[in-house]
Structure formats: structure tokens, C-alpha cells
């Protein structure tokens, strides 16, 4: 049985468009120290075409059993692709249930931009899956266009705290181990599913939606200072983008290990202890990761070529927070970054940068500059109406660049084709020219 081709050329060998998943039920038992995982995944799916076979993504772990609608099924598992062959073809539109039992030591998944997925910490574990690491810990249809609900159940030693996507609905202690159950009903892409396991203390600020911090022992003062303004950030983003998208609230996990960069997952973000600071370079990241709950998690790209829809919006959210929070204005940030980018190579196409440049810093900054240039072009009122409409109309859905440009033209009531061609599909960096109708001082977003 050969594997069906991958769904996205940016992440080859991942995902299958012949079916869609509606719900995952994932149960894992993890043993820190020995770094071993026992798992069972129940996957509720619907065929998008007649199926004689279909593929799940699962990296390195050993498959011990596969059942299809309660009956043992034939399968092969090679190169990270678990190919299942039904006894009888599944007709298009038919719902089916796949159950996979698996075990072994989880390994991060290699890719062109590095390794991602389930990783052992010095004491505990972290899951950071963007863009291709989800198969490191559960079998899945690993494409961002296939969003589903999740139930995640994790068993770990009593001395560890588990944080995962969704609302904690169960916490059962048996002897030396505790089982944690989380429900995430809002649709979620596979790469945003996560489990964090460590000796954490969990604190809640008592507001609504809930803001929580899971932190290692001895870091309280620095953690409190670093995340002291999150409630203000949340209030700003809700004014600009609409209500916070997830019923579970928002949790920050601070790992005891240093991390290269912070990372967002749905309903939470992960920072290393090396990110504990009140300086701008850290505070912009705090705002950046929170804003991903709207742009990246609620609104999720259909294809990885549209990564600017996540990172450009999150970067511009940093500038909007700076402007609203008493720092430099978005215009000042934009001018500085436009000057910097003008001195760099002009070899990037924002709407299709290629997998090698998918996380290039120029994606972040040029995407933010596009948004600021659009703000100057159409004026603050139409621009912020656009951001809110974009975030609310596509809540919990999949999005594309074309969807955004069409909505922008519709709401602005002007022809923006040349503007978007220059910013999205041409390599030279356009200029940030202030339009004749300059913004009024009262047009600040906060």
C-alpha cells in the first residue's frame, strides 16, 4: 500500500485531502525520565471521496493495533505515514471511526525549517508542533485546513502538572499517577494541539476570560512582572478584533528550560524562563503570542504559503499594543522596519515565499507593513472595521489571502488590486507613502 500524496507542498508527506476529521479523542500515558508514551487515538472522520485507502501521519512511534469502525483493519506504517485499507471501499460522504493504539519514545519530526513536536525537557515534556510536529505524539490528518474538536487525556506521575488545549474537565488520582482530561470543542488545526508536562504551579488572575500562568517553582516575581499587562493586551485585542475566541480562556506556560522562541498553541502559549523580562523585546512577544489566538488559531491558514496571515497580523498587533500602551506608535515601528527591510535582499514574495522562507523574519515585518500601508490607504475607520470583520466573520475557520483581499476591497469600497499586487506578489518592497487624507490624532486604536 503506497501512501497518498501529501496535502501541502510546503510540508511534503503530511496530510490527506481525501477525508476530513471531525473529532479526535487522544489518550496518552507519559513517563518522564524514561521518555515513553503509550497512546490510543479515536478519530471520527468523513470521506470526501470514495476511499479504498487513506493515510494518517504518525512519526517514529510503534503502531500496535488499528481498528476501523470497531473491526481490525489492514495497515502499513512507513516513513511517518500510516496507510489504512478498508475491507470495503468507504463511499464519499460516509462517516467512519479509526482507532489507533501506539507506543514508544516520542521523537521530534524533522523538516526543512528544523525539528518540531513532542520533546523531552530536563524534567517533563513540551509539545511545539508548528508546522509539522503533530505526528510526533498522535496519529492525525496533519494539514491545517482540517480543523477538528479534541478531547485530550494525559496520565502522568502525581508530582507533575499537565496543561493541554481546552478546558480541564477531569483530574483523577490513582496511586502514584494522575489522569488529566481536557475538552477543546472549538475547531483546531493539528499543529496547534499540545501537551505541556512539568512541576508547575498554576495561577489564575480571576478575570473573564480566564488568564492563567503555569510556572516553575521559584520564578513567581519575574513571571508576575513579565505578564502583568496581559489583561490590558486582551482588552485591546477584544476591542480591535472581537471577543476572545476560545471558551477555555488563555494560559501561558513558562518552562523551566530556555527556549529559542516563544510558541503559541490554541488557548495557550509557551515561554522559556529566558523570556522573563519587562523590556520591549519580551513584551512584544507577549502581545504577539496572545494575538495569535485570533490570527492563527481562530483564523487558520488553509495552506502554509499564506503564513503571513498569521505572522504579519501578530507582528502588527505588537505595534498596535505599543501604540495603545504608551510606547512608540505603529507608524514609528513601521517607518523603522521599512527602512531596515529596504536594505535587505528583495527576493521574497509575501503571498508565496516558499518553504525555505516560510518563517523568515521578513514575512513577519513585511506582513505588518502591508497592514500599516493599508491603514494609511483606506483610513483608520475602514481599516479597523476590516480587522474586526475579518476576525469575527471567519471565527474558528480556515482563511486564504484571496479571502482577505476580497474582503478588504469590499469594505474599503476602492480598487486595491495594484496595492495588493505590489505588497503580496512582487518582490521589491513598496514604499510607505502617507496618503493625502492623513490620519487624525484621534484615530489611535485605543
194 near 119, Cβ under 8 Å?
no
Query: Strand pairing of 62-68 and 95-104?
Result: antiparallel
Q: In angstroms, what CA-CA distances link 239 with 234, 242, 255?
A: 9, 6, 30
Strand-pairing partners, residue 26, are: 41, 152
Would the pLDDT of 112 be above 60? yes
What pLDDT shows up at residue 445? 59
d(CA 338, CA 367): 11
Q: Is residue 389 predicted with pLDDT exceeding 80?
A: yes
Window from 54-68, 169-183, 217-231, 328-342 with minimum mean pLDDT: 217-231
% of the chain residues with pLDDT over 90: 93
Q: Could you tell me what percentage of the chain is helix, strand and coil, using 3-state DSSP and rounding each to the nearest 5?
A: 30, 30, 40
**Rounded Cα–Cα distance for residues 119 and 159 (Å):** 19
pLDDT, average across residues 50-68? 98
Name the band, by pLDDT with cuts 50, 70 and 90, for residue 49: very high
CB count in 10 Å sphere of residue 397: 13
Predicted confidence at residue 438, as pLDDT, reads 35
CA distance 277 to 262: 13
pLDDT at 217: 82
Percent of the chain topping pLDDT 70 = 97
* Mean pLDDT of the residues in the chain: 95
- What is the structure's pLDDT at 69? 98
Whether 258 has a pLDDT exceeding 50, the answer reads yes
Q: Average of pLDDT values for 399-415?
A: 96
Grid coordinates given for 316? 502588527
Beta-ladder partners of 121: 124
Q: Scan for cell 523580562, then name that residue.
A: 277
- Find out whether 298 and 391 touch, Cβ atoms under 8 Å: yes
Q: How far apart are CA 35 and CA 118, in angstroms?
A: 10
Mean pLDDT for the stretch of residues 292-307: 98
pLDDT category at 220 given cuts 50, 70, 90 is confident
- Name 71's Cβ contacts closer than 8 Å, sequence gap at least 6: 87
State the cell numbers at 394. Answer: 471567519
Q: In whole angstroms, what is the distance from residue 286 CA to residue 93 CA?
A: 42
- Tens of pLDDT, residue by residue over 64-86, are 999 999 999 999 999 999 999 99
CA distance 65 to 67: 7
Calculate the alpha carbon distances from 358 to 11, 26, 349, 353, 425 in Å.
11, 29, 10, 6, 15
State how far the Cα of 306 lies from the Cα of 401, in Å rounded to an integer: 6
Helix (H, G, I), strand (E, B) or coil at 196: strand
Say yes or no to pLDDT of 440 above 50. Answer: no
CA 397, CA 66: separation in Å to the nearest integer? Answer: 30
Confidence of residue 435 (pLDDT cuts 50, 70, 90): very low
pLDDT at 325 over 70: yes
- Give the chain's domains with CATH numbers: 1-196 (2.60.40.1730), 199-277 (3.30.2010.30), 300-443 (1.10.390.10)
Does residue 303 surpass a pLDDT of 80? yes
Q: pTM for this structure?
A: 0.95
Task: Specify the DSSP class assigned to residue 266.
Answer: T
pLDDT at 436: 36
Residue labelled with grid coordinates 485570533: 294
Report which of 27, 265, 254, 263 is spatially closest to residue 124, judged by C-alpha positions: 254
Helix axes 308-324, 361-378, angle to 10 degrees: 60
pLDDT in the model for residue 433: 76
Amino acid at each position: 500500500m503506497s501512501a497518498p500524496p501529501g496535502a501541502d507542498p510546503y510540508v511534503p508527506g503530511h496530510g490527506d485531502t481525501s477525508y476530513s476529521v471531525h473529532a479526535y479523542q487522544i489518550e496518552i500515558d507519559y513517563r518522564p525520565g524514561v521518555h515513553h508514551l503509550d497512546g490510543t487515538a479515536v478519530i471520527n472522520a468523513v470521506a470526501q471521496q470514495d476511499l479504498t485507502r487513506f493515510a494518517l501521519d504518525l512519526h517514529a512511534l510503534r503502531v500496535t493495533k488499528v481498528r476501523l469502525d470497531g473491526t481490525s483493519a489492514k495497515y502499513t506504517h512507513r516513513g511517518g505515514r500510516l496507510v489504512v485499507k478498508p475491507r470495503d471501499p468507504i463511499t464519499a460522504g460516509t462517516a467512519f471511526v479509526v482507532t489507533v493504539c501506539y507506543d514508544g519514545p516520542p521523537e521530534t519530526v524533522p523538516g526543512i525549517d528544523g525539528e518540531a513536536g513532542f520533546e523531552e525537557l530536563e524534567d517533563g515534556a513540551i509539545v511545539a508542533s508548528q508546522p509539522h510536529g503533530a505526528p510526533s505524539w498522535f496519529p492525525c490528518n496533519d494539514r491545517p485546513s482540517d480543523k477538528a474538536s479534541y478531547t485530550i487525556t494525559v496520565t502522568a506521575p502525581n508530582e507533575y502538572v499537565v496543561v493541554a488545549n481546552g478546558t480541564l474537565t477531569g483530574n483523577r488520582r490513582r496511586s502514584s499517577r494522575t489522569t488529566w482530561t481536557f475538552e477543546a470543542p472549538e475547531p483546531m488545526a493539528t499543529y496547534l494541539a499540545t501537551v505541556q508536562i512539568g512541576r508547575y504551579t498554576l495561577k489564575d488572575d480571576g478575570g473573564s476570560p480566564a488568564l492563567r500562568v503555569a510556572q516553575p517553582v521559584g520564578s513567581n516575581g519575574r513571571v508576575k512582572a513579565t505578564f502583568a499587562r496581559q489583561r490590558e493586551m486582551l482588552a485591546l485585542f477584544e476591542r480591535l478584533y472581537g471577543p476572545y475566541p476560545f471558551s477555555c480562556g488563555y494560559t501561558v506556560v513558562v518552562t523551566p528550560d530556555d527556549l529559542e522562541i516563544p510558541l503559541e498553541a490554541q488557548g495557550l502559549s509557551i515561554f522559556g524562563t529566558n523570556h522573563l523580562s519587562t523590556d520591549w523585546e519580551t513584551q512584544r512577544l507577549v502581545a504577539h503570542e496572545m494575538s495569535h489566538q485570533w490570527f492563527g488559531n481562530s483564523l487558520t491558514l488553509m495552506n502554509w504559503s499564506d503564513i503571513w496571515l498569521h505572522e504579519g497580523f501578530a507582528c502588527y498587533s505588537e505595534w498596535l499594543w505599543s501604540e495603545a500602551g504608551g510606547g512608540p506608535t505603529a507608524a514609528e515601528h513601521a517607518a523603522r522596519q521599512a527602512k531596515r527591510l529596504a536594505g535587505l535582499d528583495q527576493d521574497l514574495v509575501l503571498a508565496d515565499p516558499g518553504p525555505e522562507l516560510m518563517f523568515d523574519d521578513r514575512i513577519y515585518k513585511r506582513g505588518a507593513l502591508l497592514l500599516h500601508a493599508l491603514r494609511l490607504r483606506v483610513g483608520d475607520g475602514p481599516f479597523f472595521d476590516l480587522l474586526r470583520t475579518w476576525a469575527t466573520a471567519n471565527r474558528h475557520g480556515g482563511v486564504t489571502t484571496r479571502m482577505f483581499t476580497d474582503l478588504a476591497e469590499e469594505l474599503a469600497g476602492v480598487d486595491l488590486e495594484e496595492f495588493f499586487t505590489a505588497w503580496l506578489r512582487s518582490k521589491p518592497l513598496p514604499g510607505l507613502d502617507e496618503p493625502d487624507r492623513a490620519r487624525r490624532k484621534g484615530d489611535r486604536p485605543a
